[in-house]
Amino acid sequence: MTTIGFIGSGKIGGTVARLAVAAGYDVVLSNSRGPSTLADLVDSLGPHARADTPSEAAAAGELVVVSVPFGRFRELPVDALAGKIVLDTNNYYPRRDGNFALLDDKSVTSSELEQRFLAGAKLVKVFNNINYRHLGALDRPAGAEDRSVLTIAGDDPDAKKQATAFLDAIGYDAYDVGGLSGSWRVEVGQPAYARIYGPYGGIGHPVTADTMRQALASAQR
Ligand SMILES: NC(=O)c1ccc[n+]([C@@H]2O[C@H](COP(=O)([O-])OP(=O)(O)OC[C@H]3O[C@@H](n4cnc5c(N)ncnc54)[C@H](OP(=O)(O)O)[C@@H]3O)[C@@H](O)[C@H]2O)c1
């Protein structure tokens, strides 16, 4: 049984955890306020879920979903994440996160900056460009006509392979957009960002590989 660790267990982390449990994974959740504050979520997910500290969630996970407000990435447990595959859901919103000069002048992508900080981890950017409600509603079995793609970006081929297998298990096909330096194509404001799956508030609509390809082709930095 594969265990998925979670650092950040809010809207996106909690949704991925629910999909993971439904697919047969064990999950270890964490947040900044402590495991006891996650009791309701753990109860709702059932016996395959538990809560612990961020370091312990990182240690327990073969894959670790990092889903905190981007501006707090420097609080992540670097040592515990060394060697781990990190599924990075984060987006840079200066109003929420504060300003980062290297992002404002577009020298690097937000995931490259996070990867530099988590030097020993293998980052895959995924889940960042879909609203959590859509993510929780659009999962479909393998081969279903209305199965959606989710983009992945990363610099480690094996990490992307494992992320692809995880996506497949929880109901999505992976669409590889390349390395972390190219992940600006799925950042905030790009055609492939969020609303491609439908307006906020609704249950969303499926996104095919063709639709995603067109959106990525019209990206502008
Ligand atoms: N909401 C969406 O639909 C969506 C979609 C795609 C991507 N994203 C991105 O994914 C990230 C998370 O978004 P969200 O909407 O899930 O946020 P959220 O609902 O506010 O959840 C954030 C989670 O991160 C935890 N956290 C904050 N600082 C932490 C730290 N230093 N260490 C450990 N845990 C910490 C919070 O725990 P405490 O409450 O205990 O602090 C909470 O569990 C953001 O970067 C966001 O832009 C969001």
Please state the atom number of ligand 1 nearest to the C-alpha of residue 33.
40
Burial label for 98, CB within 10 Å (0-12, 13-18, 19+), is exposed
- The predicted pLDDT at position 1 comes to 60
Cα 145 to averaged position of ligand 1 atoms, centre (Å):
31
State if residue 12 touches ligand 1 by the CB under 6 angstroms criterion.
yes
Task: Tell me which CATH code domain 3-217 carries.
Answer: 3.40.50.720
Q: Give the closest residue (by CA) to ligand 1 atom 14.
A: 11
**pTM over 0.85, yes/no:** yes
Cα 114 to averaged position of ligand 1 atoms, centre (Å):
15
Cα 7 to averaged position of ligand 1 atoms, centre (Å):
9
Q: Give the closest residue (by CA) to ligand 1 atom 29.
A: 32
- The predicted pLDDT at position 105 comes to 97
* Interstrand relation of 173-176 and 149-154 (parallel, antiparallel or unpaired): parallel
Cα 11 to averaged position of ligand 1 atoms, centre (Å):
7
- The predicted pLDDT at position 6 comes to 99
Q: Give the closest residue (by CA) to ligand 1 atom 21.
A: 10
Mean per-residue pLDDT pooled into runs of 10, the chain (221 residues): 94 98 98 98 98 98 98 98 98 98 98 98 98 98 98 98 98 98 98 97 95 98 92
Cα 1 to averaged position of ligand 1 atoms, centre (Å):
26
Domain ranges for the chain, please list them.
3-217
State if residue 50 touches ligand 1 by the CB under 6 angstroms criterion.
no
